[in-house]
Amino acid sequence: MIRMQITHITKEDFFDVFIPAFEASITPDNVRVGFRVAGLIPFDPESMISRLDLKLMTPSPPNSSPNTVKTWTPKTLSTAYEATRSSTTLKRKISEHQNSSPTHIFEVVDLVIKGLSKLTHRMVLLEAENKELRSK
């Protein structure tokens, strides 16, 4: 349909094109490769975690001095402290944003989303590992 320049599809026509596409793509070889790449069979969660480019580090304690200017360096989140700090920065940027460019706000949002995605993936892998260990 895309090759025929058809870029919109109705709900009624969806399954007419979905089923052949699904059957062509969900082959035994593709399923095996997907499980292997995801680190599920053979079980190897480290292979997936290593692709997430996680850089875990202990955060510095928050500075309690009232006269210190708080700076924010854009980076992908790795800790709850960083998520809280980025959230506060984002709220401040949104409240200060009037007729200026929203580029910095979008950068903060993108980094927050990327960090949350990495933390979520890691949490799912740790929960699976925990469940497996408890079943032994």
Question: Strand, helix or coil at 53?
Answer: coil
Is 105 domain-assigned? yes
Is 75 domain-assigned? yes
**C-alpha 105: how far from chain center:** 18
How far is residue 96 from each of residues 72, 75, 87, measured CA to CA in Å? Answer: 15, 21, 14
Is 87 domain-assigned? yes
Q: How far apart are CA 41 and CA 31, in angstroms?
A: 11
**pTM beyond 0.75, yes or no:** no
Q: What is the pLDDT of residue 68?
A: 45
Q: Which range of residues forms the domain containing residue 106?
A: 56-135
Is 124 domain-assigned? yes
Is 48 domain-assigned? no
Is 126 domain-assigned? yes
Q: Which two tokens stand for residue 108?
A: 């903060």
N residues, the chain: 136
Q: What is the pLDDT of residue 28?
A: 92
Return the amino acid letter for 110: D
Average pLDDT of adjacent 10-residue blocks, the chain of 136 residues: 77 85 91 86 77 64 52 66 75 71 73 80 87 87
**Structural domain count, the chain:** 1
Is 12 domain-assigned? no
Q: What is the pLDDT of residue 56?
A: 60
